[in-house]
Amino acid sequence: MAKPVKIMETVLRDGHQSLCATRMRIEDMLPQLEALDKIGYQAIEAWGGATFDTCLRFLDEDPWERLDTLKKHLKTPIQMLLRGQNLLGYNHYSNDVVEKFVAKASQHGVGVFRIFDALNDVRNLKVAISAALKAPEHPHVQGCLVYTISPYHTNEKFVELAKELKDMGCHSVCIKDMSGLLKPYVAEDLVKKLKAGLGEDFPVELHTHCTSGFGHATYLKAVEAGVDIIDCALSPFACDTSQPCTETMVAMLEGTERDTKLDRGAMTPIAKHFLAVKKKIINEFGLKGYFDVNPNVLDFQIPGGMLSNLANQLKEAGMEDKYQDLLDEMPRVRKDLGYPPLVTPSSQIVGTMATFNVMSGERYKMVPKEFKDLARGKFGRTPLPIDHDFLTKTLGIPESDIIEDCSVEDAKAETFDQFKKELTDKGFLNPTDEDVLSYALFPQVAEEFFKKHYQQVTAYKR
């Protein structure tokens, strides 16, 4: 007998990250937390991704305190998005920093860890997955298949990756389609193959965006193929570059054998609240607040949140007319780099390199350090090997700097105790573990936050 489809709600994280630059405050969430809790979602995504950085940098909030507040009001599991060895920053961190962060996040209320690596390199997932599995709170641990399209990536390859994640102890897998590239019939085939390869009872979740226009159709075909959970956003923060709409999917499946059994009527007052929140955020921060569907994302593959940033970079440089050139250059740079999926941090690195190429009028004339690090293997193994001459001649990377095992580099990274000493040496005495972790991820941003919130920096107190 077919089971009801479960829904993971993204309005408190990816919904506003995709449409409103992650600018929703905890005060905007509080009035509806109890109502959201009663809906019956599988989980509510409310932490991780860009929320941590944005809390500190733009919203004057402590992300750890936000998580505590969410936990007080939600019995539904709180889900976070974690970038494996990257955590929530843009570098790889030492194993002890990763382990400490995961343990603290679990203690503060994360009930579902969705863990991914931008290159689908499982070596970058092992430490975070292991730490989450060891947490005394017994959170659900989900591994990701970062979905992309290339000559290398096939549904069969994604099934192989899913089997590795299951063998590593993951309780479920998620197809993470961050750019809305997954076509409906390809989704149907992938879900069927995952179910055949992992076992019918092993949970498979699907995450997509509506950037290409496929979203709701892709979910429908995946549901027909047996997917267990779909990620949706309530209507004010749905569609365009965000997830398919929660209310739409609930209505679409009503009366079928996969009926979600959720009360769509109960969602209406919650959606009305968040529509007002969306309008407020757009006005306060001067955001566009909506994005056009663009089927050409199938070619340039840039996640929705990046498109506006790249356009702004060109505008500031007085080169708005080069926007299409930039979209054309992205696939070429990605090919040179061995076809990495474009998701944080690889999307930013490839996007910046393509922007430099277009703005300078000469390819690889200016090459950022992060691009060289990704090319030489510091972030892990690219899907296809990078041409040796491209590495050594075009990018000028010495043979001795090419890395075969990224985990060896991670072992050289700054440790938790080193970050703690840095913080205390700057006058922030007796920092909590949470403050040290905030500093480890975003040193300059966290330092400014601490200066603002502690009157006497040398007599650092809560």
Residues 382/337, Cβ–Cβ less than 8 Å: yes
Higher confidence at residue 409 or residue 113? 113
Residues 275 and 339 in one domain: no
Residues 325 and 238 in one domain: no
Domain stop point among 285, 307, 334: 285
Q: What is the mean pLDDT of residues 109-116?
A: 98
Residues 322 and 390 in one domain: yes
- pLDDT higher than 90, residue 367: yes
Residues 28 and 167 in one domain: yes
Domain stop point among 264, 285, 306: 285
Residues 356 and 374 in one domain: yes
Integer Cα distance of 442 and 16 in angstroms: 21
CATH of the domain at 108: 3.20.20.70
- Is it true that the peptide bond before 345 is cis, omega within 30 degrees of 0? yes
pLDDT category at 456 given cuts 50, 70, 90 is very low
Residues 446 and 391 in one domain: no
The fraction of the chain above a pLDDT of 70, given in percent, is 96
Q: Look at 141-150, 172-181, 322-331, 367-376 and tell me which has the smallest mean pLDDT.
A: 322-331
Higher confidence at residue 437 or residue 289? 437
Residue 303 placed within a domain: yes
Residues 364 and 403 in one domain: yes
Residue 292 placed within a domain: no
Q: What pLDDT, on a 0 to 100 scale, did the predictor assign at position 311? A: 72
The fraction of the chain above a pLDDT of 90, given in percent, is 83
Q: What is the pTM of this model?
A: 0.94
- pLDDT higher than 80, residue 309: no
CATH of the domain at 436: 1.10.10
Q: What is the mean pLDDT of residues 255-269?
A: 98
- Number of structural domains (the chain) is 3
Residues 238 and 346 in one domain: no
Residue 290 placed within a domain: no
Q: Which domain holds residue 442?
A: 414-459
Can you name the residues that pair with 173 across neighbouring β-strands? 143, 204
Residue 21 placed within a domain: yes
Residue 89 placed within a domain: yes
What does the pLDDT look like over 34-61, one tens digit per residue?
999 999 999 999 999 999 999 999 999 9
Q: Which two tokens stand for residue 3?
A: 């089971």
What stretch of H or E contains 299?
A: helix 297-300
Residue 291 placed within a domain: no
Residue 55 placed within a domain: yes
Mean pLDDT, the chain, rounded, equals 93
CATH of the domain at 325: 1.10.472.90
Domain stop point among 410, 426, 451: 410
Q: What pLDDT, on a 0 to 100 scale, did the predictor assign at position 40? A: 98
Residues 360 and 254 in one domain: no
Residue 35 placed within a domain: yes
- pLDDT higher than 50, residue 223: yes
- pLDDT higher than 60, residue 448: yes
Q: What pLDDT, on a 0 to 100 scale, did the predictor assign at position 286? A: 85
Q: What is the mean pLDDT of residues 300-315?
A: 73
Q: What pLDDT, on a 0 to 100 scale, did the predictor assign at position 208? A: 97
Q: What is the mean pLDDT of residues 7-28?
A: 95
Contacts of residue 232, Cβ cutoff 8 Å, sequence gap at least 6: 7, 8, 9, 10, 219, 238, 243, 244, 245, 246, 249
Q: What pLDDT, on a 0 to 100 scale, did the predictor assign at position 460? A: 46
